[in-house]
Amino acid sequence: MSTFQFSSDAQIESIGMQVLACTLPKAEWTHAAHLAAAAWIIAVRNDLHAARDMPGIISAYNEACGVANTDTGGYHETITQASLLAVAAFLDAQPRGATLHAACNALLASPYGSKDWLLRHWSQPVLFSVAARRGWVAPDLLPLPFSG
């Protein structure tokens, strides 16, 4: 769980727009920024389909930052798709009319705000395998409490 707090929807939008434009400074591509960008794309960008489009968005962003998308680094399909499912389910459970930054702050304060939440569902060898990086690999420890 994170203690980071977003102060406005505009802050979330800025992160999302910078990720799309591949201009977000690499040092600002934190776990919170990953979740915020995902939430913004899911909640606001109806022209994008997160599960389909995020792999290319993240891969392009990585390349623009000098991060190679390889079997050992860069884009990770299973982490991305599981995180998108978690963010979408979390957003769906928010009260009607909740601001996006309030929802993101609640998400960061939830178990999904922790960088290691995935390790309750996947063992490290499975989650960090080349297969999981390159494609979807189902959880080997505990099923996800939501689905796509």
pLDDT tens for the chain, 148 residues long, are 556 799 999 999 999 999 999 999 999 999 999 999 999 999 999 999 999 999 999 999 999 999 999 999 999 999 999 999 999 999 999 999 999 999 999 999 999 999 899 999 999 999 999 999 999 999 999 999 986 5
pTM of the full structure? 0.94
User: Look-up: residue for tokens 């960088």?
Assistant: 115
Distances (CA, A) of 44 to 90, 138, 148: 15, 28, 18
